């Protein structure tokens, strides 16, 4: 394995991002890792973004251009098998030539002298579709628009004779700009490579009967074990239909206790009509989606393009518009958009041998990848490689350059609209407690005269340079503190341990005193109110949010109907210009100050209270502003606990020396 952790007590092995044993809570020992190494003398591997049966995905920096990329390194045993290297090249070339801005592009692929095969992918920004689907279902107009864009990417792949084979919400990234969604689809061609690995590599064709995919989204013909070569576009149409169904209903049409039960239902059981779960969905739209779920391929829509076309027509009919049969589909196209989102983990917290960790999506050997951090396309200098591999790289590069050229001619400057990258990368420091970003100090107008009474009067405040945690403190980080100091764990943990699926969620159920104790242990402190607001405004008085003066829907994890925390950094646009994440959403954050008026007067009923700042997953959008203040007693009295503990966490600061 490229990345492996092992428990020194019981010997259980774990996949990346897990630091404590699930059985005995012991800190894990790193057995093998590529983190911090320079891959192929080109890419410094900075951070693990995801992992699975195929390999590990890293956030990487090109050592010459300093541009960030997502690099998927295949497990060495993958390419040791006969013919696997050539199949790797074939699938990578095919995937790189898909002509759609709705499909994540592969910009390079190589094999190192150490026989490590890797793919270099563009960075994407946005949210994994999985995290946007609510239990009550998505508003149907939005679900249709997202489905149509998925269809656009899949249709482009089908035109290149590529069947995706593993379409699911985890492989779809959505960026919200104003009222518009922009979609990217991941992992074209990768499922085929994985399937080849599961079969006898010495045989010229794959075995009949091998089932590959994610059971909730597999077509009946996949469930019957049909050969990969015999799968048709209708198989992907079925999977798109499942995704659309889930967006509309908040649930997949079939669920079960295990993969075999799900597979049997796909083959034999009719799906419940969408209207049963969501009566607000127009009949015309429900009909189109239900037809895509027909058991026989010939009974479904004949192509992804046709499915999108029929959905558009149904949507217009629902809005009272008139359409003509066969009217072509019209979709919004913004070529060249790059976006990122938080990584969906195949096994977010269990041992490599435990198949039951992801309860909501039990999978057969499969993986999903969500690259991170938007950047321009870098110039990549290929290392010497065999001629057969060079030809594939050149073909991919030509396709990439062509698409990028069209983008800049058509939409100059589009990438600079929101969250511009700083001219120079901010200074950061990293240690066992996480990564901190240097916030260059300055003077700004703190507070708001149009907000709550405790936010005024607006006045000029200066802050010195300081470091601020890039992310909110996670359960995993807080566990180190608990173990080292024998501190009382949060009440939300069971038997002194958080649920492994919550490893990278921000720690909650911590009082102000708890946060101060952690910060002191880590050699840090809580930020002051002024520092926090300065960072949340990106150091600019006219900024109401980290990204600018105006609210953008979908930019932060706020205004959910119930508590739905996401892993830190999960909302890529909720960051300031220095690269500090989650200042507006996910959890509110303790700061060091007493909760008093800006005239230093006590606030009625809250003498001795401490401040927490920022919006959170539960509160409304109006409470997600840089100037917003909250106050509560530092030990959080029991009568306020249920209203405060689930939504408040913290991050740390440090003086700049």
Which residues are catalytically annotated? 166
Angle at 251 between CA 316 and CA 291, to 5 degrees: 45
Q: Which token pair is 202?
A: 């010495």
Within 10 A of 359 (CB to CB), how many other CB atoms are there?
7
3-state class (DSSP) for residue 203:
coil
With a CB cutoff of 8 Å and minimum separation 6, the contacts of 612 are: 512, 588, 589, 590, 591, 630, 631, 632, 648, 650
Residue positions counted in the chain? 657
Give one DSSP letter per residue of 121-180, joined into a string: E----SEEGGGG--TT---HHHHHHHHHHHHHHHHHHHHTT---S---GGGEEEEEETTE
Handedness of CA 271, 275, 277, 282 (dihedral sign): positive
Which strands sit side by side in the sheet containing 13-14, from one edge to the other? Answer: 13-14, 4-6, 29-32
Question: Of the candidates 247, 8, 213, which has an alpha carbon nearest to the alpha carbon of residue 137?
Answer: 247
* Residue 128 to residues 107, 183, 345, 370, 387, Cα–Cα distance (Å): 21, 10, 11, 8, 37
3-state class (DSSP) for residue 237:
helix
* Ramachandran area for residue 564 (φ above 0: left; ψ -120 to 50: alpha; else beta): beta
3-state class (DSSP) for residue 215:
helix
Query: What's 106's DSSP letter?
Result: E
Bridge partners, 56 (sequence order) = 51, 73
């Amino acid at each position: 394995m490229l990345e492996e952790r092992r428990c020194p007590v019981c010997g259980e092995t774990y996949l990346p991002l897990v630091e404590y044993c699930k059985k005995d809570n012991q800190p894990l020992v790193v057995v093998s890792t590529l983190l911090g190494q320079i891959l192929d003398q080109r890419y410094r591997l900075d951070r693990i973004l995801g992992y699975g049966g195929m390999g590990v995905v890293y956030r990487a920096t090109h050592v010459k251009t300093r541009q960030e990329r997502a690099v998927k390194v295949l497990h060495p045993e993958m390419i040791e098998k006969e013919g696997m290297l050539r199949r790797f090249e074939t699938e990578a070339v095919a995937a790189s030539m898909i002509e759609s801005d709705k499909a994540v592009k592969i910009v390079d692929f190589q094999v190192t002298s150490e026989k490590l095969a890797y793919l270099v992918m563009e960075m994407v920004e946005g949210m994994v579709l999985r995290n946007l689907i609510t239990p009550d279902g998505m508003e149907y107009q939005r679900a249709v628009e997202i489905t149509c864009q998925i269809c656009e990417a899949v249709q482009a792949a089908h035109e290149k004779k590529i069947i995706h084979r593993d379409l699911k919400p985890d492989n779809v990234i959505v960026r919200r700009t104003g009222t518009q969604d922009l979609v990217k689809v991941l992992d074209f061609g990768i499922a085929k490579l994985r399937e080849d690995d599961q079969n006898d590599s010495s045989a010229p064709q794959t075995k009949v009967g091998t089932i590959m995919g994610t059971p909730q989204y597999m077509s009946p013909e996949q469930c019957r074990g049909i050969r990969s070569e015999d799968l048709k576009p209708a198989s992907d149409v079925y999977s798109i239909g499942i995704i659309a169904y889930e967006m509309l209903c908040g649930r997949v049409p079939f669920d079960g206790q295990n993969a075999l039960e799900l597979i049997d239902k796909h083959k034999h059981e009719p799906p419940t009509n969408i209207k049963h779960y969501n009566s607000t969905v127009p009949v015309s739209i429900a009909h189109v989606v239900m037809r895509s779920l027909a058991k026989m391929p010939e009974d479904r829509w004949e192509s992804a393009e046709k499915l999108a076309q029929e959905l558009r027509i149904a949507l217009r009919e629902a809005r009272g518009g008139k359409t003509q049969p066969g009217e072509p589909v019209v979709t919004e196209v913004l070529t060249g958009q790059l976006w990122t989102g938080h990584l969906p983990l195949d096994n977010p917290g269990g041992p490599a041998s435990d198949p039951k960790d992801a309860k909501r999506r039990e999978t057969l050997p499969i993986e999903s990848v969500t690259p991170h951090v938007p950047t321009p396309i870098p110039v990549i200098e290929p290392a010497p490689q065999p001629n057969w591999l060079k030809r594939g790289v050149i073909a991919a590069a030509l396709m990439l350059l062509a698409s990028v050229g069209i983008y800049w001619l058509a939409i100059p400057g589009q990438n600079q609209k929101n969250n511009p990258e700083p001219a120079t990368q901010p200074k950061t420091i990293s240690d066992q407690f996480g990564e901190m970003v240097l916030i260059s100090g300055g003077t700004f107008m703190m507070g708001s005269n149009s907000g709550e009474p405790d936010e005024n009067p607006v006045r000029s405040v200066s802050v010195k340079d300081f470091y601020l945690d890039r992310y909110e403190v996670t359960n995993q980080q807080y566990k180190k503190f608990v173990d080292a100091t024998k501190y009382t764990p949060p009440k939300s943990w069971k038997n002194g341990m958080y649920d492994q699926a919550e490893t990278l969620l921000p720690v909650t159920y911590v009082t102000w005193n708890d946060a101060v104790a952690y910060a002191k242990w880590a050699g840090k402190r809580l930020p002051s109110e002024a520092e926090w607001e300065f960072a949340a405004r990106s150091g600019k008085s006219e900024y109401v949010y980290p990204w600018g003066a105006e609210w953008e829907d979908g930019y932060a994890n706020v205004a959910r109907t119930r508590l739905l925390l996401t892993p830190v950094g999960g909302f890529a646009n909720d960051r300031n210009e220095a690269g500090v994440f989650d200042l507006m959403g996910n959890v509110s954050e303790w700061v060091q100050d007493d909760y008093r008026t800006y005239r230093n007067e006590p606030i009625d009923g809250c003498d001795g209270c401490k401040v927490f700042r920022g919006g959170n997953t539960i509160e409304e959008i109006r409470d997600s502003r840089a100037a917003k203040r909250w106050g509560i007693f530092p030990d959080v009295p029991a009568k306020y606990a249920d209203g405060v503990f689930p939504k408040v966490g913290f991050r740390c600061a440090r003086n700049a020396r």
